[in-house]
Structure 1
Amino acid sequence: MDQFRNIGIIGRLGSSRVLDTIRRLKRFLLERHLHVILEDSIAEMLPGHGMQTCTRKLMGEICDLVIVVGGDGSLLGAARAMARHGTPVLGINRGSLGFLTDIRPDELEARVSEVLEGRYLMESRFLLEAEVRRGMESIGQSDALNDVVLHPGKSMRMLEFELYIDGHFVCSQKADGLIVATPTGSTAYSLSAGGPIMHPKLDAIVIVPMYPHTLSSRPIVVDGNSELKVVVSPELQIYPQISCDGQNHFTCAPGDTLSIRKKAQKLQLIHPVEHNYYEICRTKLGWGSRLGVQE
């Protein structure tokens, strides 16, 4: 009995290459007599498709597998929606980097066939949940697969805040902002701000100050079950922004508290059987290749 019968397709909008790949994927899945469900926003770009459509929110409830055609940004958005249902996600890369969407369009049929036949690697990736509170009131909340970022928005002013980990005061800090990243997000914004690369299997969170006022401020790696609290200085003259995966944004005020913790539900991310994390890093980050030495 096939493990994946109801297969959802999510695609990045505004790209003819993505639409071409989705048409090819749809045709391939229908030839295998599978039930294909298109996300409603991408379905509008495919007139006459004849497929069932649904919202992204509903897709996690009715699909056995969701295939994302696009870049890592597309997969981040899908991940936040699918994690709550435990629906596995597979990425076909139509973006640039492709740390998460690791199937090339030219190998679509071969790799998707392997997955449908049960030959794949499944990884659990944890997400973060962030909430901003103003006194007793919740001002905003969102999830992030990559990172939660406190930043000044359009202002050029430096931020000032206090950091607490598991209720313990760590430090007060002046900086351009703060990045709190998962291992998945350690190769994204966190990396460009000087954070470490963390293997996806690590149960850890990295806290990276952005251009801190004090040169001794360095990234801190803490246990993945840590509860973080960032208190925005009441004396601050601007209203900072919180961004989750660079996609969901909300504004906080001086004196607000940002709480960050691991989300209970995890993303189930599918890779081809030959997936190699270090090869991905070597290719995407331009690391040196072998010297030709025989092993």
Structure 2
Amino acid sequence: MLMCKQTQPLLSMPPGGLTMAVSSHRWLKEKVAVVMGATGTGKSRLSIDPATRFPAEIVNSHKMQVYEGLDIITNKITEEEQPGAPHHHLGIAHPNVDFTASDFRDMASLSIESILGGRRLPIIVGGSNSYIDARYECCFLWVDVSRPVLHSFVSKRVDKMVGNGMVEEVEQLFYPNADYTRGIRRAIGVPELDLYFPTGFLDEEARAKVLQEAVHEIKANTCKLACRQLEGIHRLKNLRKWKIHRLDATEVFLKHDREADEAWEKLVARPSTMMVAQFLYSVGATRVATEEMVRNAALLLLCDLVGDDV
């Protein structure tokens, strides 16, 4: 599956050039964007940005989000967070089924071919980089956050998940002596809570302590997962020599509310949009894409699609 040719690093373009470049180029097929990053860094948000600015569809590659249920603990993107961007392979597998990397590759290949056949850009997003091997021409976008900042955010996010009903959500799936090596029960947060649910005979203080220990373990295991994912990305970048565009979102996580949104637009959304524009339309080496040019590029593509009755 997903055999990825290497694309050139981002090049710059002078003002006014992208429209001319796009007008002389038709839609180039066999191109796929891949959004990478550790858990909690904002991969889903990054995938939405180009998906709302170009004709695109999103293919989930998160091992646990492919299963039905546990929407809180697996951090599935909500319908409200999917503004006009079709998503594939979210919550489509039975919780008890062992959905393998081979299963995903087979299913994702069909979806990608279908998306490409509709003259749209497939955007693969998720933390499971083991699903990505090497076929289409790919643009790799890596949203990164410094480890101390990310670990602090992950800890707070787990607390927020608990407040949103994570424990109650997992309890609905609980039964004694469950197999935590198969299906959705492998998700971080499910096995850690295994010792909490049979504690009904304990007093309130003792139960609270067991829960506190389980939540602490969930935080620690999530941080370990983030480290493994980062190591995997570095391995792809350094050993396989994949040309991966790193987008540093650390500053976003150090700000709040409007300032955080502005930092995201400046440091992540806008640069990634320019990268995708250049990737799709093969813009020249000495030009700088502007937002207006990106809009023009998208309009030209839409006109192209309408003209071909796609």
TM-score for both structures, normalised by structure 2: 0.28
More helix by share: 2
Structure having greater relative contact order (Cα 8 Å, sep ≥ 6)? 2
More strand by share: 1
TM-score for both structures, normalised by structure 1: 0.29
